[in-house]
């Protein structure tokens, strides 16, 4: 194809780098996004199914104790963890002490000693008025449990001013990070020191806004960052260095979610997505679970 006047080869390379391709083949949809040397291809594993007890489905985290199980919760003062399988069927219903109030936005899986733990992030701040945010950490429950252990509480404040946030992720070494919701989103490290309020540490800025969730792959090699319209995959080492030019975006707005919210790496390339239903409206609708089946070009895939 001939170049138009004023369109250099670099222009076309940049254009191709940001291309997003959606291809329909029979009854299956394939979504692909390519940026530079990075490539992610995802097919729709399952379109949204209803989660009857989770109308405000917000955070989503993979279980490390139970294969093919996700944990989720409501974005409200509902002190309950809901375990669902990859088809959205309920498998567990567990109460969490100390979760009766707050703006709960993110749920992550990570280590605590030799155990697998869940990190519950009370980080929402729509009015920008909070002097601090907090995270609860509990050992991951069994499916038959009715209540978790008493959680550890960690508190921190931003180094500049309050921020609204809905996303957090935990690396396999136990480091916790929060991503703010504003444009442009900012990644902060959350030091985990029990018994005192610490100060978050600014790490990077992302060219995203309305970030609603994030998750780290099991091997820690990749971070998925969700907005209401896409999931953007970053290589962890690049993101933590502030190099965010190579994020790979997969569009999600055509999945049919009422309001896209959560993201989590499952096993073998599965990526779970939860959506909020009617929330606090007079006639709330159930939340939803959808899945993508993804392939990653390099070994830092979500596995």
pTM summary value: 0.86
Residue 299: exposure state from Cβ atoms within 10 A (0-12, 13-18, ≥19):
exposed
Q: Is 170 helix (H, G, I), strand (E, B) or coil?
A: strand
Strand partners of residue 215: 224
Q: In this predicted model, which residue has the larger pLDDT, 12 or 139?
A: 139
d(CA 74, CA 279): 9
Q: What is the pLDDT of residue 2?
A: 39
65, 116 Cβ separation under 8 angstroms: yes
Each residue's pLDDT tens digit, 89-137? 999 999 999 887 889 999 999 999 899 999 999 999 999 999 999 999 9
- Whether 251 has a pLDDT exceeding 50, the answer reads yes
On whether the CB atoms of residues 29 and 41 are closer than 8 A, the answer is no
pLDDT > 50? residue 38: yes
Residue that has been written with the tokens 């670099």 in this structure: 10
The length of the chain in residues reads 303
Q: Is 113 helix (H, G, I), strand (E, B) or coil?
A: coil
Residue 32 near residue 21, CB atoms below 8 Å? yes
- In the block, tokens 């509990």 appear at 138
- Which pLDDT band, with edges at 50, 70 and 90, does 23 fall under? very low
Q: What are phi and psi of 89, to 5 degrees?
A: -80, 140
Cα gap 275→230, rounded to integer Å = 12
What is the band of 36 on the pLDDT scale with cuts at 50, 70, 90?
A: very low
Better-scored residue on pLDDT, 284 or 51: 51
The yes-or-no verdict on residue 297 having pLDDT over 90 is: no
Structure-block tokens of residue 140? 């991951």
The pLDDT mean for the chain works out to: 85
| pLDDT at residue number 278 | 63
- pLDDT, residue 202, reads 97
Give residue 298's pLDDT: 67
Rg of the Cα atoms in the chain:
19
Given the structure tokens 């993110």, which residue do they identify? 106
Domain over 46-296 is classified CATH 2.120.10.30? yes
Residue 288 near residue 258, CB atoms below 8 Å: yes
Look up residue 279 and give its DSSP letter: T
Burial class of residue 239 (count of CB atoms within 10 Å of its CB; 0-12, 13-18, 19+): buried
């Amino acid at each position: 194809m001939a170049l138009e006047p004023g369109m250099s080869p670099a222009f076309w390379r940049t254009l191709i780098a940001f291309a997003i391709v959606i291809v329909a083949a029979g009854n299956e949809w394939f979504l692909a996004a390519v940026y530079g040397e990075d490539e992610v291809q995802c097919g729709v594993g399952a379109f949204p199914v209803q989660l009857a007890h989770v109308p405000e489905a917000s955070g989503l985290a993979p279980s490390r104790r139970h294969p093919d199980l996700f944990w989720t919760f409501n974005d409200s003062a509902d002190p309950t963890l809901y375990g669902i399988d990859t088809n959205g069927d309920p498998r567990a219903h567990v109460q969490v002490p100390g979760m009766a109030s707050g703006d709960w936005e993110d749920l992550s899986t990570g280590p605590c000693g030799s155990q697998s733990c869940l990190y519950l992030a009370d980080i929402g701040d729509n009015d920008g008025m909070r002097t601090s945010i907090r995270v609860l950490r509990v050992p991951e429950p069994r499916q038959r449990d009715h209540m978790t252990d008493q959680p550890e509480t960690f508190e921190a404040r931003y180094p500049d001013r309050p921020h609204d946030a809905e996303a957090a992720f935990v690396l396999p070494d136990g480091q916790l990070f929060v991503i703010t919701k504003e444009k442009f989103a900012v990644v902060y490290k959350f030091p985990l020191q029990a018994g005192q309020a610490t100060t978050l540490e600014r790490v990077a800025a992302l060219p995203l806004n309305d970030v609603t969730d994030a998750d780290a792959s099991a091997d820690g090699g990749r971070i998925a960052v969700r907005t209401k319209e896409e999931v953007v995959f970053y290589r962890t080492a690049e993101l933590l260095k502030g190099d965010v030019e190579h994020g790979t975006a997969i569009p999600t707005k055509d999945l049919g979610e009422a309001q896209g919210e959560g993201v989590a790496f499952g096993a073998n390339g599965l990526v779970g997505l939860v959506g909020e239903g009617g929330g606090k409206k007079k006639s709330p609708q159930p939340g939803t679970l959808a899945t993508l089946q993804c392939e990653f070009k390099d070994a830092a895939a979500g596995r």
